[in-house]
Structure 1
Amino acid sequence: MQLLDLTLPSPEENLALDEALLSAAESGDQPVEVLRVWEPVDPLVVIGRASRLHEEVNVEVCQQRRIPFLRRASGGASVVTGCGCLMYAVVLSYQLHPELAALDVCHQYVMGRLQKSLAREVPEIDFQGTCDLTLDGRKFSGNSLRCKRTHLIYHGTLLYDFDLTLIPELLRTPPRMPDYRQQRPHESFVTNVPIPRDIIRQRLLEAWETSGEMVDWPRDLTAQLVAEKYTNPEWTSMR
């Protein structure tokens, strides 16, 4: 698996790059697997592909604070990210892992690897809900995926030193909650995992057994997606 440790200048570019990595893998005639690691500099709200913007996001607060909100290409609910939240994305091939066509197996495969690797630092880390990593019942990693014909992308957040007060300020109470949340508000549901960023990054690389860096990442496709989708207000506000 190749490693792409790359944070692009704008939030639109960073979301577009994840989608471009999946599309580029789909367009090739050989299986491609990539681990990307990145981290936003400033706060950013990212909503799921099927999310209803005004149902999940405090849009007015985001606008007042000039915090961007963008829609990603994968499912799941809205998240807040920024400095102190390490982001990862892993592109996986069905040819190499045909069992991942079953979604429950896919969640177990990816989350199991992450949990096992990070638990070397904090043994109490648990895997709860569909695809959350938790510590003492509080979530520090939310994840989502998008499946295509030959590849999938699985990506998510890893809160380690994030300003957690931003989450209830920028997000509404989610319309759907996992049972283990027990209707808790954001303030008592989300936490930072006490692992330094460099150690989290190293554990990610070990979990996915990366070998060599990706140099020829899909620059042109990323730019095209930014121009056609991620800077298009209709894409973000379509629901």
Structure 2
Amino acid sequence: MKTLDQSFDEPAMNLACDEILLNEVDSDTREATLRFWEPQLPFVVIGYGNNINRECLIESCKQNKIQIFRRFSGGGAVLQASGCLNYSLILPISTKEGTNNISSTNCHIMKTHQGAFTEALSHKVTIEGHTDLALNGLKFSGNAQKRTKNALVFHGTFLLNFDLELLDKSLRMPSVQPLYREGRSHDKFCTNIPLTVDSVKNLIKTAWQANETAKPVDGEKISQLTNAKYSQKEWIYRQTKINHESE
């Protein structure tokens, strides 16, 4: 596996990059890749099947100049901002590596990360819900996956130095909640962990033995997919009954 540290100032380009990586691994033109990226400005990313009205505080996002985007994987809405470290694992599907179905992939990757963070924090990290990591019952990582015929992307966020108060200003209480949440507000449910960006990158790279550097994704491909899909209101507002002509 190789590591790619590639971030973009434009939020939608970061989402497009993951889809291109998945397509390249699926077509066997790129080997397994671990990507890291960090947001520069706050923005919301909703899951593929989410309804914007149900998950987001749209007017509050407008007032705070927080844009909303849609990713191509499942899961719920998340707020991206400074203090978040995002990672994406793009892997070929293999029965030997425990990635042959959704459940086995969740188990394989989450247990790997659980062990790495438990060691780094010298404190028991738990797997909660389907794909959350928690410290003392507080969530610090949420994850989602998308699968094609031959490959998958499993991606998520680690909260390191994040302004938790921003969450309740941009996101509604989620439509689907894990039992361990117990109705807690966003800022009472989530936590930062006391690790630096570099230390988390190193522990994830070590966990996946991603010791070599991957070639960057072609910028022109990313721009094309961003313009054709991720920046389009038809994509962002799909499944949402809202007049976005004036947005």
Q: TM-score range by the shorter chain?
A: over 0.9
1:8 shift after superposition: 1.4
1:63 corresponding residue in structure 2: 62
Partners of 2:115 and 2:221 in 1: how far apart? 34
Code of the aligned partner of 1:237: Y
The equivalent of 2:169 in structure 1 is 169
TM-score (norm 1): 0.95
Whole-angstrom CA distance in 2 between matches of 1:209 and 1:125: 21
> What stretches of structure 2 of length at least 5 have no aligned partner?
240-247
Q: Which residue of 2 aligns with 1:16?
A: 16
For residue 108 of structure 1, give the secondary structure of its aligned residue in structure 2: helix
**8 A Cα contact 1:3 1:214, kept in partner:** yes
Instruction: Verify the 8 A CA contact 1:4 1:35 in the aligned structure 2.
Output: yes
Q: Could you tell me which residue of structure 2 aligns to residue 190 of structure 1? A: 190
Aligned in 2, Cα 1:95/1:108: closer, same or farther, shift over 3 Å?
closer
Deviation at 1:96, TM superposition (A): 6.9
Q: CA deviation at 1:82?
A: 1.2
Consecutive unaligned residues in structure 1, runs of 5 or more:
none
Between the aligned partners of 1:69 and 1:216, the Cα distance in structure 2 is 26
Give the equivalent residue in structure 2 for 1:212.
Answer: 212
Q: 2:117 maps to what in 1?
A: 118
C-alpha displacement at 1:28, in angstroms? 2.6
Q: Does 1:104 align with 2:97?
A: no
Deviations, residues 78-113 of structure 1 (Å, cap 9, x unaligned) = 001111010000001114746312222111111111
Percent identity of equivalent pairs:
34
RMSD (Å) for aligned C-alpha atoms: 1.4
Q: Is the 8 A contact 1:21 1:218 kept in 2?
A: no
CA contact (8 A) 1:134 1:140 kept: yes
CA spacing shift, 1:33–1:13, aligned 2, 3 Å:
same
Matching residue of 1:137: 137
C-alpha distance in 1 between matches for 2:106 and 2:23: 21
Change (3 A) 1:234 1:208: same
* 1:3 and 1:34 in contact (8 A); partners too: yes
Q: 1:8 is matched by which residue type in structure 2?
A: F
Q: Work out the number of aligned pairs and report it.
A: 238
